[in-house]
């Protein structure tokens, strides 16, 4: 199997043959539709940014959507006929892999500057970077989605339940964020916010359960000790006053976590379902899997991520990780990259354990 990567822009397609280390640049777009690519054989794989294989519509605002649905369907038929697998790479991850390979983001601002520094265009850098990354990280390659043509209308219908969910969460969190989450005395806010009141009323019970001293015995199957989990959400027992808690050190972390299960208006956080699902038309309480992907934004193919995802991925996750900084260095080696992934996974596992304790308290025990 040979891995090809492709990029589309300004009416041209750029293709990288990773086995032969050859870049075919500025080809007519129809060459991709026809799979008229030098060296491409049955069983090979083409990876292209997902946005480029979304339907282009009249008066559409996205320049990344290059092909009309008829062209996408033709590409799909050609690939099926020739037994070529087409996989989608998350567009928003491309800047990350460019940096990982060693291209400085500062030089990306101007193609002429980029070419002067690296001796190749930004388009060529993209297709080379994606290929190098996928060969380096086999798990990332396995997680890529298969291409299947879909109209913009179908895409919107299939994902409306996710967009509605994120919109609702943004509305809840934006109000609370601008009011200090109910813990800033400057603002007259919090008395009517159920999330704020839960934190104030239940912080001792939460701490007790996190350290395994409550009715929920966390120590039975926890990967972390209770103080680690308390620290992750800014809870600490006083060193001078036994049994008392200090002021919550990171209100945004704890509020964001609680708000993934409980809304400020007192309702449980619920989700809708896509057309054709057995629960279509119903709203049910969220699960951890749903929350991790659509609330905390921990997935490759993310769209319209909201306030909660920003709070978690830009602040909480780096804050509870032993990896210094929020992102990898330019040209990070395998040791740094693997450490980054490991620490990110540990942070997510800590969050998951805290989330299950909160869910037990809120959903099953009805605590407020």
- Of the three residues 108, 132, 150, the one that is the final residue of a domain is 150
Q: State the Cα–Cα distance between residues 365 and 368, nearest whole angstrom.
A: 9
| Segment 276-282 mean pLDDT | 95
Domain count, the chain: 2
- pLDDT of amino acid 214: 44
Q: State the Cα–Cα distance between residues 321 and 326, nearest whole angstrom.
A: 9
Q: Decide if pLDDT at 110 tops 70.
A: yes
Q: Do 54 and 97 share a domain, yes or no?
A: yes
Q: Do 16 and 117 share a domain, yes or no?
A: yes
**% of the chain beyond a pLDDT of 90:** 79
CATH value at residue 14: 3.30.420
Q: Specify the pairing of strand 22-28 against strand 45-49.
A: unpaired
Pick the residue with more confidence: 366 or 241?
366
Q: Do 347 and 229 share a domain, yes or no?
A: yes
Q: Do 132 and 190 share a domain, yes or no?
A: no
> Tokens for 271?
């989700």
Q: State the Cα–Cα distance between residues 328 and 300, nearest whole angstrom.
A: 16
Q: Do 166 and 63 share a domain, yes or no?
A: no
- pLDDT of amino acid 60: 59
Q: Decide if pLDDT at 345 tops 60.
A: yes
Q: Quote the domain boundaries for residue 36.
A: 3-150
Polymer length of the chain: 368
- pLDDT of amino acid 303: 57
Indicate the range of 18-22, 44-48, 241-245, 344-348 predicted with least confidence: 241-245
Q: Do 99 and 199 share a domain, yes or no?
A: no
Q: Do 46 and 143 share a domain, yes or no?
A: yes
> Tokens for 344?
């990110």
- pLDDT of amino acid 325: 84
Q: Do 185 and 327 share a domain, yes or no?
A: yes
Q: How confident is the model at residue 64 (pLDDT cuts 50, 70, 90)?
A: confident
Q: Do 329 and 351 share a domain, yes or no?
A: yes
| Segment 34-55 mean pLDDT | 95
- pLDDT of amino acid 92: 85
Q: Specify the pairing of strand 145-146 against strand 85-89.
A: antiparallel
Q: Tell me the per-residue pLDDT of 189-212, one tens digit each, with 9 for 90 and over.
A: 988 999 999 999 999 999 999 987
Q: Do 265 and 295 share a domain, yes or no?
A: yes
Pick the residue with more confidence: 363 or 305?
363
Q: Do 137 and 174 share a domain, yes or no?
A: no
- Of the three residues 122, 150, 178, the one that is the final residue of a domain is 150
Q: Tell me the per-residue pLDDT of 210-256, one tens digit each, with 9 for 90 and over.
A: 987 544 444 455 578 889 999 999 999 998 888 899 999 989 999 99
Q: Do 49 and 138 share a domain, yes or no?
A: yes
Q: Which residues contact 82 (CB under 8 A, 6 or more apart)?
A: 35, 40, 42
């Amino acid at each position: 199997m040979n891995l090809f990567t492709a990029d589309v822009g300004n009416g041209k397609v750029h293709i990288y043959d990773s086995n032969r280390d050859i870049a075919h640049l500025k080809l007519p777009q129809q060459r991709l539709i026809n799979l008229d690519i030098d060296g491409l054989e049955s069983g090979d794989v083409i990876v292209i940014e997902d946005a480029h294989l979304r339907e282009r519509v009249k008066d559409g605002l996205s320049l990344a959507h290059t092909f009309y649905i008829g062209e996408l369907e033709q590409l799909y038929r050609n690939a099926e006929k020739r037994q070529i697998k087409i996989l989608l790479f998350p567009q928003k991850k491309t800047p990350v892999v460019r940096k990982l390979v060693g291209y400085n983001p500062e030089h990306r601002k101007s193609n002429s500057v980029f070419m002067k520094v690296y001796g190749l265009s930004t388009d060529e850098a993209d297709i080379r970077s994606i290929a190098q990354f996928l060969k380096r990280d086999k798990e990332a390659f396995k997680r890529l989605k298969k291409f299947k043509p879909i109209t913009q209308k179908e895409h919107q219908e299939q994902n409306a339940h996710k967009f509605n969910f994120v919109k609702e969460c943004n509305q809840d969190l934006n109000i609370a964020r601008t009011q200090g989450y109910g813990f800033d005395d400057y603002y007259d806010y919090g008395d009517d916010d159920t999330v704020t009141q839960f934190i104030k009323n239940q912080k001792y019970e939460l701490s007790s359960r996190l350290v395994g001293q409550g009715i929920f015995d966390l120590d039975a199957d926890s990967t972390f000790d209770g103080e680690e989990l308390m620290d992750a959400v800014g809870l600490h027992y006083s060193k001078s006053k036994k049994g008392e808690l200090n002021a919550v050190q990171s209100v945004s972390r704890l509020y964001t976590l609680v708000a993934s299960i409980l809304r400020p208006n007192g309702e449980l956080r619920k989700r809708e379902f896509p057309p054709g699902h057995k629960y279509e038309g119903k709203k049910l309480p969220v699960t951890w899997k749903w929350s991790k992907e659509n609330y905390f934004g921990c997935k490759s193919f993310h769209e319209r991520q909201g306030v909660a995802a920003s709070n978690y991925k830009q602040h909480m996750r780096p804050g509870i990780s032993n990896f210094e900084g929020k992102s990898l260095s330019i040209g990070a080696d395998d040791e740094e990259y693997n450490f980054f992934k490991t620490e990110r996974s540990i942070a997510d596992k800590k969050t998951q354990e805290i989330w299950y304790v909160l869910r037990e308290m809120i959903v099953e025990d009805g605590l407020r």
